[in-house]
């Protein structure tokens, strides 16, 4: 998964580069068109149109039966049974393309989420930056036996454009170190988090453009990389569980409706698929 | 005192009788009435005098 | 959200009506071109302002009156802000607008209430188990009566922008743009209740005037506390809504991380937060995630007072969020959110300067000044954007900071004040002057922004005076045989419960109000209406003869009988029978204003609220400055709106009675 993401990140950065200065809805619309077309193409490639069509006609027939014989309970029961059976068959015929779609699109949608799902920090913003350590961070860092409250020797290396607004707060119960950080200048900044000999880099985007933003850099793991692909994972043996900050969530404007991009994306994808199924000769 | 009779657990009644005097009530009835009134207050819409005054004291002109 | 708020519906109807009137208005084109800007500085004192000007400390005021005018502006009787501003708004005495004091009383029960607005009763509700569902009500009603002057302007086609006018909550709906100010409640429905949290286990959990002291459970560097909201409207049993927060305290440095809802922030000791959402869950979601009712969301600012030895956190009163539109605070509805968009969220409650936290020794004078600075600068920051967006017609903009800070700081200039000590107040002698310099800066910005044809009026509702001595009217009435208590041995006496009404002819409620216990009006009235006038005369004479035994000076210099000294008006019955005008330096006692019967008539004012204006109205006039002589003379607040209308060449103000138009 890490390798796939490592390839996908620059690809999506490149693909979305032309849209950075535009409202997110432009990119969302174009990509939902592409996704709609690809989805139809997958259906065409992997499903049997005759069987799909037959199942659809059987369902329609069942519905007609109910309307015509709505005073005959026996027929209605039989018709409902038939509808359910053929509906299941219909879903079954489209199962392969559907599963393919999910497998293919999930990593892609995860990539897009980190382009369209968040807004960058603005100059002057103050944000909490935190480093959460593993439960066994003391063993991993070999810092057992310290006097008083055990406290990791965490240091930040700040680039120009970011500054600290507070000393850190160490919460032993959460094994978390938190700083209040101020965004002084625009840019994709890299903060170095040094723990012992290891230094991890966390990206922080101060921008009003639509760019890739990664709220959290997480420990290694398949799901983490599947769902949070915007940054490479921390090393497998790192004492750090995650490094993160919170970006404001971005909503997109869809006519008079302000909502999460994924909703607009799904609605538009379905809409495009419905419009294009005729011209593309696809039965769904 | 009560328009209609209300059954109370024997032990509870004994406890009330014992504590009514300690709590400074003239009779167990008074104790029970007071306790019930206090509980009922929580269900009634009207605020108590103290609560109203407390809110008015939010005004700096009044301390 | 309050989608079916009846007030809003009425306001929309009024707005629609106003629009029709506007479209149908035949003339008004000439009036519409005119521009008048009115800046209201609550509590600006004429004498003090002139002294500052003479000392060259208010150059922009000098610039303002170069070709204009300057004069003291007569204030209302009594000279209290809600009364004074209502008089300005309507051009009428309290008898015409119905606001006689901060505090009025219900004649039947004598319960005190806030005079300017009241929560509407929740009407019928449906009960389902432990839950109840209200079918109507739940809004607020403005109690100020009469026609506001901007309504007359709008009817003649003049656009008006009215920002933070006191005694205008819920907003009138008749201005093109308006935002409510003094009188707007916090989420608890009062004038603002702060919370103070401490990990000190010896600190008692208790209620202060305008605030609550609450515990902070500190364990292993993690401190947990709870914010309290209003009663849960959905529960049959009265239960407060709550919202928890956590502070993670660093073991080395004076910093802590505050976590409340979705917000996390690291704070240094002595640091204030921006506005943070405070969410109250009205009903738990079904299966833990299906929301059944929207949460009640407000916002608060937090101040980490200290981390060691004890953790102390101040939370401002929880305010309604201007983005959410839960309260009718602006016209149009989205105007409050538009302002927040430009300058960030702001205190929506009226009188946000937390004087009570200073009085309760929760904040030091320096900390109070920091809080007041935050509140004041929110108002100031919004001013220029509003001024820039103002094209023509009337702009009224209100600044309340000068008044509330003067209340707490004026006496730092008065070494003879009983509460003055050099170590507490000596460092703050210059604060009031700084407030006037801020006002001067605002006037300067305005003069730079307006053109030569624009009339600029700077006014205030009353002046200021050091408040050294208090007078307890109920104690005086008792001492003079007008009020009799049931049990003289009881320590804390109040007219609610402790008075023998069969032997009581008068009582006091409010800062300046005195009421006769009239048969047929008061619940247990004994004075026959025909004997009322003679009794009023008798009490008036006695009060005017009062001498403060400590100063040897008269303590009361004016007493007004409302029925004869005020203009006749439909709301006379709402207010007191007598309004007491205390001598400069003396004011009505606070507890007495809520109906309590103190032991002593006279005491020193030992509170941090060291200055006031609830005195003889002739001793505390406001100011009236303008950049040109006004077309129509205004000697007092009552004439001022008429004079503003005259600038637009519009007459017919005040609008005398609603029915006679």
C654 preceded by a cis bond (ω within 30 of 0)? yes
| Assigned domain for B2 exists | no
Sequence-distant (≥ 6) Cβ neighbours of residue C253 within 8 angstroms:
A167, A168
Q: What's residue C624's pLDDT?
A: 98
Which band of pLDDT confidence, cut at 50, 70 and 90, is reported for residue C136? Answer: low
- A217 — phi, psi (to 5°)? -110, 120
Contacting C residues, span 220-249, partner chain A, CB-CB under 8 Å: 220-222, 248-249
- Least confident segment among A229-243, C142-156, C498-512: A229-243
Q: Is A68 in the C-facing interface, judged by CB distances under 8 Å?
A: no
> Considering only CB atoms, which chain A residues are within 8 Å of C311?
none
Query: DSSP letter at A280?
Result: H
Predicted local distance difference test score (pLDDT) of residue C23 = 43
Q: Which two tokens mark C229?
A: 């909201």
Is C478 within 8 Å of C597 (Cβ atoms)? yes
According to DSSP, residue C351 is labeled S
Distance from CA of A268 to the nearest CA of C (A): 26
Whole-number percent of chain A with pLDDT over 90: 44
Is the pLDDT at C633 greater than 50? The verdict is yes
Encode pLDDT of C179-229 as tens digits. Answer: 999 999 999 988 899 999 999 999 888 888 899 999 999 999 999 999 999
Q: Which chains touch B (3 or more CB pairs under 8 A)?
A: C
C-alpha span between C388 and C95 (Å, rounded): 38
Q: Which residue of C has its CA nearest to A125?
A: C274
Q: Cβ A165–C251 below 8 Å, yes or no?
A: no
Q: In whole angstroms, what is the distance from residue C471 CA to residue C646 CA? A: 42
Does position C514 have pLDDT exceeding 50, yes or no? Answer: yes
How high is the pLDDT of residue C174?
Answer: 96
pLDDT digits over C230-252, tens only? Answer: 988 888 888 899 999 999 999 99
Interface partners of A (3+ CB pairs, < 8 Å)?
C
Q: Please state, for a pLDDT cut of 70, what percent of chain B lies above it.
A: 83
Report the pLDDT value the prediction gives residue A140, as an integer from 0 to 100. 82
Name the residue of chain B whose CA is nearest to C211's CA.
Answer: B58
Mutate to test the interface with B, among C593, C598, C605, C607 (most CBs of B within 10 A): C593
Q: Which of C461, C400, C384, C434 is nearest to C37 (CA)?
A: C384
Output the furthest CA–CA distance in chain A (Å, rounded). 84
Span of A136-150, A212-226, C151-165, C366-380 with lowest mean pLDDT = A136-150
Q: Of chain C residues 553-612, which have a CB less than 8 A from chain A?
A: none
Q: Is residue C292 within 8 Å of residue C285, measured between CB atoms?
A: yes
Give me the mean pLDDT over the C382-387 stretch. Answer: 96
pLDDT at C581: 98
Q: Does A147 touch chain C (CB under 8 A)?
A: no
- Segment C497-526 mean pLDDT: 96
C557-567, pLDDT tens digit by residue? Answer: 999 999 999 99
Q: Which 3 state secondary structure label does DSSP give A240?
A: strand
Walk me through the domains of chain C, giving residue ranges and CATH numbers: 6-99+144-189+322-467+619-660 (3.40.720.10), 194-316 (no CATH), 469-604 (3.30.1360)
Q: Is residue B39 part of a domain?
A: yes
Q: Mark yes or no for CB contact C248/A165 under 8 Å.
A: no
pLDDT for C610? 97
What is the pLDDT at residue C500? Answer: 96
Residue A147: the pLDDT is 62
Instruction: Give the pLDDT mean for C420-435.
Output: 97
The alpha carbon of C221 is separated from its chain's Cα centroid by a whole number of angstroms, namely 40
Q: Kindly state the tokens that stand for A234.
A: 């921390």
Q: Is B61 an 8 Å CB contact of chain C?
A: yes
Flag whether B5 is in a domain. Answer: no
Of B49, B55, B61, the CB nearest to C190: B55
Give the domain ranges of chain A: 2-117+253-280, 126-245
Residue pLDDT, tens place only, C110-135: 999 889 988 877 667 777 777 777 76
User: Which residues does C contribute to its contact with B (CB < 8 Å)?
Assistant: 80, 102-103, 111-114, 121-122, 186, 188-193, 207, 209-210, 236-238, 317, 351, 355-356, 359, 404, 407, 494, 496-497, 511, 590-591, 593-594, 607, 609, 612, 614
Nearest CA in chain B to C125: B45
How far is residue A253 from each of residues A16, A29, A268, C344, C383, measured CA to CA in Å? Answer: 18, 11, 13, 22, 30
C-alpha–C-alpha distance, residues A137 and A132, integer Å: 10
Is some CB atom of chain C closer than 8 A to the CB atom of B60? yes
Q: Which of residues 28-47 of B touch C (CB under 8 A)?
A: 41-43, 45
Contacts of residue C271 in chain A, CB cutoff 8 Å? Answer: 166
Do chain A and chain C touch with ≥3 beta carbon pairs under 8 Å?
A: yes
pLDDT, tens digit, 9 for 90 and up, residues C601-616: 999 999 999 999 999 9
Q: CB–CB of C189/C284 below 8 Å?
A: no
Backbone angles phi, psi at A184, to 5 degrees: -95, -30
- A128, A166, A173, A176: best mutation site toward chain C, by most C Cβ within 10 Å? A166
Q: Is residue B40 part of a domain?
A: yes
Do B42 and C237 make contact, defined as CB atoms within 8 angstroms? Answer: yes
Q: Reply yes or no on whether the pLDDT at C12 is more than 80.
A: no
User: Among C99-108, C231-240, C441-450, whose mean pLDDT is lowest?
Assistant: C231-240
Q: Which tokens belong to A196?
A: 């012992």
Beta bridge partners of C113: C104
Q: Are strands C117-119 and C125-128 parallel, antiparallel or unpaired?
A: unpaired
Across the interface, whether the CB atoms of B43 and C407 are under 8 A apart is answered no
Q: Chains B, C: CB contacts under 8 A, how many?
A: 82
Distance of alpha carbon C417 from alpha carbon A1, whole angstroms: 76
Contact A169 C250 (CB under 8 A): yes
Low-confidence ranges of chain A (pLDDT < 50): none
Chain C residues whose CB is inside 8 A of the B58 CB are 186, 190-193, 209-210, 317, 356
Q: Answer yes or no: is B24 within a domain.
A: yes
Instruction: Report the distance separating Cα C376 and Cα C398, nearest Å.
Output: 11
What pLDDT score was predicted for residue C388?
94
By CA distance, what is A180's nearest residue in C? Answer: C266
Q: What is the ipTM of this complex?
A: 0.83
Residue C266 has its nearest CB partner, among A148, A179, A246, at A179
CB contact (8 A) between residue A151 and residue C251? yes
Chain-chain contact of C497 with B59 (C-beta, under 8 angstroms): no
Q: Domain residues for B28?
A: 10-56
The H-assigned helical ranges of C524-619 are 529-544, 562-565, 590-593
B4 lies within 8 A of chain C by CB? no
| Residue A101, helix vs strand vs coil | helix
Q: Which helix H or strand E contains C408, and what residues bound it?
A: helix C401-409
Output A1 or C653, whichever has higher pLDDT.
C653
Identify whether B61 is part of a domain: no
Task: State how far residue C164 is from chain B, nearest Cα, in angstroms.
Answer: 17
Residue B35 in any domain: the answer is yes
Any A CB within 8 A of C259 CB:
no
CA-nearest of A226, A228, A200 to A216 is A228
**What average pLDDT does range C92-108 have in this prediction?**
96
Chain C residues with beta carbon closer than 8 angstroms to that of A179: 266
Would strands C302-306 and C271-272 be described as parallel, antiparallel, or unpaired?
antiparallel
Q: Do C251 and A166 count as a contact with CB atoms less than 8 A apart?
A: no
The CA distance from C250 to the nearest CA of chain A, in Å, is 5
**B34: in domain:** yes
Q: How high is the mean pLDDT of chain B?
A: 78
SS (H, E, C) C183-227: CCCCCCCCCCCEEEEECCCCCCCEEECCEEEEECEEECCEEEEEE
| Residues on chain C touching A178 (C-beta within 8 angstroms) | 248, 257, 264, 266
Decide if C526 touches A, using CB distance below 8 A.
Answer: no
**Interface contact C356-B56, CB threshold 8 A:** no
In chain B, the number of structural domains is 1
Please state, rounded to an integer, the average pLDDT across all residues of chain C: 92
pLDDT of residue B62: 82
Identify all chain B residues contacting C111, using CB atoms and an 8 Å cutoff.
Answer: 49, 52
Q: Place C10 in a pLDDT band, splitting at 50, 70 and 90.
A: very low
Residue C7 confidence (pLDDT): 41
Is pLDDT at B26 greater than 90 in this prediction? no
Contact between residue C301 and residue C374 where contact means Cβ atoms under 8 Å apart: yes
Q: Are A93 and A52 in contact (CB under 8 A)?
A: yes
CB contacts, 8 Å: C248 with chain A? 169, 171, 173-174, 176, 178
């Amino acid at each position: 998964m890490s390798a796939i993401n490592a390839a996908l990140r620059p690809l999506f950065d490149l693909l979305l580069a032309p849209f950075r200065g535009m409202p997110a809805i432009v990119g969302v619309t174009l990509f939902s068109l592409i996704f709609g077309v690809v989805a139809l193409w997958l259906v065409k490639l992997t499903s049997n149109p005759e069987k799909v069509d037959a199942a659809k006609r059987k369902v329609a027939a069942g519905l007609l039966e109910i309307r015509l014989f709505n005073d005959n309970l026996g027929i209605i029961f039989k018709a409902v049974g038939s509808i359910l059976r053929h509906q299941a068959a219909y879903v079954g015929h489209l199962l392969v393309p559907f599963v393919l779609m999910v497998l293919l699109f999930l990593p892609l949608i995860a990539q897009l989420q980190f382009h369209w799902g968040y807004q960058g920090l603005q100059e002057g913003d103050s944000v909490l930056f935190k480093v959460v350590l593993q439960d066994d961070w003391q063993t991993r860092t070999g810092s057992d036996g310290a006097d008083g409250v055990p406290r990791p020797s965490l240091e930040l290396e700040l680039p120009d454009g970011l500054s600290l607004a507070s000393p850190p707060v160490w919460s032993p119960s959460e094994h978390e170190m938190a700083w209040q950080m101020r965004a002084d200048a625009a840019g994709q900044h890299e903060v170095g988090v040094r723990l012992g000999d290891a230094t991890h880099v966390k990206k922080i985007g101060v921008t009003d453009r639509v760019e890739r933003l990664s709220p959290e850099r997480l420990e290694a793991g398949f799901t983490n990389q599947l769902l949070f692909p915007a940054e490479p994972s921390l090393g497998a043996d790192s004492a750090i569980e995650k490094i993160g900050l919170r970006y404001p969530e971005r909503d997109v404007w869809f006519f008079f409706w302000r909502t999460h991009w994924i909703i607009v994306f799904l609605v538009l994808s379905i809409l495009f698929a419905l419009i294009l199924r005729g011209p593309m000769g696809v039965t769904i | 005192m009560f328009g209609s009779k209300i059954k109370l657990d024997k032990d509870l009644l004994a406890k009330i009788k014992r504590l009514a005097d300690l709590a400074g009530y003239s009779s167990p009835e008074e104790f029970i009435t007071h306790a019930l009134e206090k509980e009922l207050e929580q269900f009634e819409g009207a605020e108590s005098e103290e609560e109203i005054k407390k809110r008015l004291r939010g005004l700096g002109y009044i301390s | 959200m309050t989608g079916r708020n009846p007030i809003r519906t009425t306001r929309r109807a009024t707005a629609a009506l106003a629009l029709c009137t506007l479209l149908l208005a035949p003339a008004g084109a000439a009036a519409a071109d005119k521009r008048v800007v009115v800046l209201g500085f609550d509590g600006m004192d004429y004498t003090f302002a002139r002294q500052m000007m003479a000392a060259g400390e208010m150059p922009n005021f000098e610039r303002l009156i170069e070709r204009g005018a300057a004069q003291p502006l007569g204030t209302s009787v009594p000279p209290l802000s809600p009364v004074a501003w209502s008089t300005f708004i309507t051009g009428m005495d309290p008898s015409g607008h119905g606001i006689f004091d901060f505090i009025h009383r219900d004649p039947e029960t004598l319960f005190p209430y806030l005079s300017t607005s009241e929560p509407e009763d929740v009407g019928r509700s449906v009960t389902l188990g432990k839950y109840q569902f209200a079918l109507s009500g739940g809004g607020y009603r403005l109690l100020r009566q009469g026609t506001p002057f901007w309504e007359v302007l709008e009817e003649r086609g003049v656009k008006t922008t009215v920002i933070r006018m006191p005694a205008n909550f819920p907003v009138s709906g008749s201005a093109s743009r308006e935002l409510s100010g003094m009188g707007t409640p916090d989420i608890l429905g009062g004038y603002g209740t702060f919370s103070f949290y401490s990990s000190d286990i010896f600190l008692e959990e208790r209620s202060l005037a305008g605030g609550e002291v609450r515990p902070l459970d500190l364990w292993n560097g993690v401190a947990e506390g709870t914010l309290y909201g209003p009663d849960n409207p959905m529960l049959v049993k009265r239960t407060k809504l709550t919202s928890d927060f956590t502070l993670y305290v660093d073991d080395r440095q004076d910093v802590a991380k505050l976590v409340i809802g979705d917000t996390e922030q690291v704070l240094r000791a002595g640091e204030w937060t921006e506005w943070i959402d405070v969410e109250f869950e009205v009903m738990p979601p079904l299966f833990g995630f299906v929301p059944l009712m929207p949460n009640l969301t407000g916002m608060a600012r937090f101040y980490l007072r200290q981390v060691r030895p004890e953790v102390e956190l101040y939370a401002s009163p929880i305010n309604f969020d201007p983005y959410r539109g839960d309260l009718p605070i602006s016209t149009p509805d989205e105007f409050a959110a538009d302002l927040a968009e430009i300058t960030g969220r702001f205190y929506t409650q009226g009188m946000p300067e937390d004087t009570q936290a200073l009085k309760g020794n929760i904040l030091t004078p320096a900390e109070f000044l920091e809080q007041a600075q935050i509140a004041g600068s929110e108002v100031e920051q919004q001013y220029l954007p509003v001024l820039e967006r103002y094209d023509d017609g009337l702009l009224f903009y209100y600044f309340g900071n000068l008044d509330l800070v003067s209340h707490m700081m004026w006496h730092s200039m008065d070494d003879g004040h009983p509460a003055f000590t050099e170590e507490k107040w000596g460092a703050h002698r210059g604060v009031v002057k700084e407030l006037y310099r801020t006002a001067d800066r605002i006037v300067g910005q305005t003069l730079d922004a307006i053109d030569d044809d624009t009339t600029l009026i700077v006014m205030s509702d009353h002046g200021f005076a050091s408040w050294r001595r208090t007078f307890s009217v109920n104690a005086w009435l008792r001492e003079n045989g007008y009020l009799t208590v049931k049990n003289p041995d009881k320590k804390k006496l109040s007219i609610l419960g402790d008075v023998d009404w069969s032997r009581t002819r008068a009582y006091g409620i409010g800062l300046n109000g005195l009421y006769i216990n009239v048969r047929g009006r008061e619940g247990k009235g004994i004075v026959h209406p025909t004997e009322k006038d003679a009794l009023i005369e008798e009490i008036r004479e006695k009060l005017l003869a009062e001498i403060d035994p400590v100063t040897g000076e008269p303590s009361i210099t004016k007493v007004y009988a409302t029925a004869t000294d005020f203009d006749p008006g439909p709301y006379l019955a709402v207010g007191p029978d007598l309004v007491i005008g205390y001598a400069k330096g003396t004011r009505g006692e606070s507890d007495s204003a809520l109906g309590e019967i103190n032991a002593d008539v006279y005491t020193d004012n030992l509170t941090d609220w060291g200055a006031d204006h609830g005195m003889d109205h002739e001793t505390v006039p406001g100011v009236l400055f303008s950049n040109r002589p006004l077309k129509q003379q205004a000697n007092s607040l009552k004439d001022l709106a008429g004079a503003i209308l005259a600038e637009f060449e519009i007459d017919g103000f005040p609008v005398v009675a609603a029915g006679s138009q």
